Amino acid sequence: MLRRHARTACTVLAAAGLALAGLQAGSATAVARPEAPSVSTAAGTGAARTLGADAAPPELLRAMERDLGLTRTQALTRLAHEAGAGATAARLRQNLGSAFAGAWVDGPEARTLTVATTRAADAAAIRAAGATVRVVPNDLAALDRAKAALDRAATAEAPVRYVDVRANVLVVEEARAGAGDRLLAATGVPRDLVRVVRTAEAPRPLYDIRGGDAYYMGGGGRCSVGFAVTRGTTQGFATAGHCGRTGTSTSGYNQVAQGTFQASVFPGNDMAWVAANSSWTATPYVKGAGGANVQVTGSVLQPVGSSVCRSGSTTGWHCGTIQQHNTSVTYPEGTISGVTRTTVCAEPGDSGGSYISGSQAQGVTSGGSGNCSTGGTTFFQPLNPILQNYGLTLKTTATDPGPGPGPGEPQPGGTWAVGKVYAAGDVVTYGGATYRCLQGHQAQTGWEPPSTPALWQRA
């Protein structure tokens, strides 16, 4: 939790900033071609166009060059590959069913997509889709069930739990020797599913309408705007729940009266939204380097290994990569689940700020460790659950379709609806056909199922 008090900076949260571990001997069997295939395909080009990865602004590219050590050409190539990899991995997840064990991208330009499965017979289909194959003993659903059992019993002695898909294990970070084993004993989770690693730090929240701009809470403290949203005719923004409670008043970066928290959840999740008064207008932008606007075109969550950039009112614009989704973190205030772990740095006051991949909104800053001088680990609350829980519509640069059915209302094409948040596996009808969602996102005009194969597959 990275909240900045108005007069006194609170301590930066400490979470274990551990690098991704490699495969343990015997934990998995790699099955791959002599040369790793590239995820750059015609389908990938279509995905890049849908997600706006082919029109990245200079501010985003410069930050990727600085923080990821890329050239401008490499940064553009990486964004396109990540978009294609996400679409390919999503299709394979649907096709593999219960055997699916995770997916991730590797390499400076994210050229290699790896998909894990528990069935060796799936190798040909995975390769045919342009990915490398890893055959592993544990499917992702089984590891997620084991993590859920640990989450229910976890304390701050074992503050972070996540599934490392590369290593095909459930990782437990322990702040005190023996805490991991005590947690396993209390829950009955098999020891061979888990790797316990020691951390000297413990996560705390990062306390402290354009994404990344500062706002101030009426009771004291500063946080950062996540993403501009609307709810009917009301305008506002999504942010972290630990920044304020329902009814908390806010003022903007300029100390002008701004709005009020309408709903807030923390712990459990770390989500909230603020309704702004008539003096404020929601814009489809995140504050980039030097104050430049970075456009937001959607909310498609990107796969493990993808690049991601963060905007916050303390440290500004920084980039890194996605390490794990569906991570659980136990702060002193309680456990939050379903957050994403990243290598992006943050400091107090950055809480609530925007995470964006290319032009796709990812989530809002929850907590982390370290700082932007020495680096660290951060966690973000994914945005789509916030939009869904509160009935919000993300403000994007998509063309305004004019009057028509509102968010959540049936569209002429069938049950598919603009403004509805879809999760992978959801089924809709459109134009007399049935489609299955491949990647979670909020639907918008221009993303109709027949025209977005990166997001929808005909059933």
Annotated catalytic sites, by residue?
242, 270, 351
Q: Among 153, 154, 112, 156, which residue's Cα sits nearest to residue 134?
A: 112
The interaxial angle of helices 42-51 and 72-96, nearest 10 deg, is: 110
What is the total residue count of the chain? 459
- Using CA atoms, how far apart are residues 241 and 220, in angstroms rounded to an integer? 15
Nearest Cα to Cα of residue 50 among 448, 459, 457? 448
Tokens of 11: 């301590």
The owner of tokens 């970066």 is: 253
Phi, psi of 128 (to 5 degrees): -65, -25
Contact 28, 116 (CB under 8 A): yes
| Tally of CA atoms within 13 A in the half-sphere of 1 that contains its CB | 26
Q: At what angle do helices 179-187 and 140-153 cross, to 10 degrees?
A: 100
Q: Contact at 8 Å (CB) between 133 and 127?
A: yes
Q: Could you tell me which residues come within 8 angstroms of residue 298 by beta carbon, excluding any fewer than 6 positions away?
A: 51, 52, 359, 360, 361, 394, 396, 398, 441, 442, 444, 447
Bridge-partner residues for 250, per DSSP? 217, 259
